Amino acid sequence: MCMEIDSGDSAKIRLGIDKLASFNSHSPVTIEATQKAIIVAKNSIASQTEYYQSQISLIKSNLEIAITNLSSISSKTPQKVSKIKKITIKILEIIEAFLDAGDAVKRRKKSDKIYRDLINFHISHKRASTELQKITKRQKGGWFVSRFD
C-alpha cells in the first residue's frame, strides 16, 4: 500500500490511500513506512480532494492509535497487581455495568448517524466500517476501566 502511494501514479496513489485507510493491523514494521506514505500522500496532487484528505486523516489517527497501543504494551513489565488495584478494577467494572445502559443509547445514536451519513454519501463505506468497528469494540466492555489505566 505504501509502495502504491510512493509510485507517483495518480490512480495507484488513490488506491493505496483507500487501502491504507482501512488497514488497522499496524506493527513496529509498518509504522515507519506508513509515516512516510502519509507525508507523500499529503503532498501528492492526486490526493488534493476533500475525500482523500479525510482518508489521510483517518490513516494518521489509526497510526497514532497503533503507536499508543504498541508503546503501552512495551512499557508494561510483569508486576504483581496489588490488592488495592484489583479492588479498584472491580469497583470500576461495577460502575461500568451501571453506566453501560446510557452508553448503549449513545452507541446506538452514533451508529444510526453513521448509517444516515453513509446513505447520504457523506462518508465512505470504509470509513463507516471503521467507525462501526470502534462502536462494536466499545460494546464488548472495558471502556470505562480503560479510562483509568
- Please report how many Cα atoms fall inside a 13 Å half-sphere around the Cα of residue 43, on the Cβ side: 8
Q: Note the pLDDT of residue 79.
A: 53
Provide mean pLDDT across the span 47-51: 83
pTM check: above 0.75: no
Phi and psi at residue 15, in whole multiples of 5°? -65, -45
Q: Note the pLDDT of residue 80.
A: 52
Tens of pLDDT, residues 112-146: 999 999 999 999 999 999 999 999 888 888 878 88
Q: Note the pLDDT of residue 17.
A: 86
Annotated domain spans of the chain:
1-77, 79-149
Q: Note the pLDDT of residue 35.
A: 86
Tens of pLDDT, residues 52-105: 888 888 888 888 888 887 776 655 544 555 788 888 888 888 888 888 888 899
Q: Note the pLDDT of residue 145.
A: 81
Taking the C-alpha atoms of residue 95 and residue 102, their distance in angstroms, rounded to an integer, is 12
Cα-based torsion angle of the residue sequence 125, 126, 130, 132 in order, rounded to the nearest 10 degrees: 10
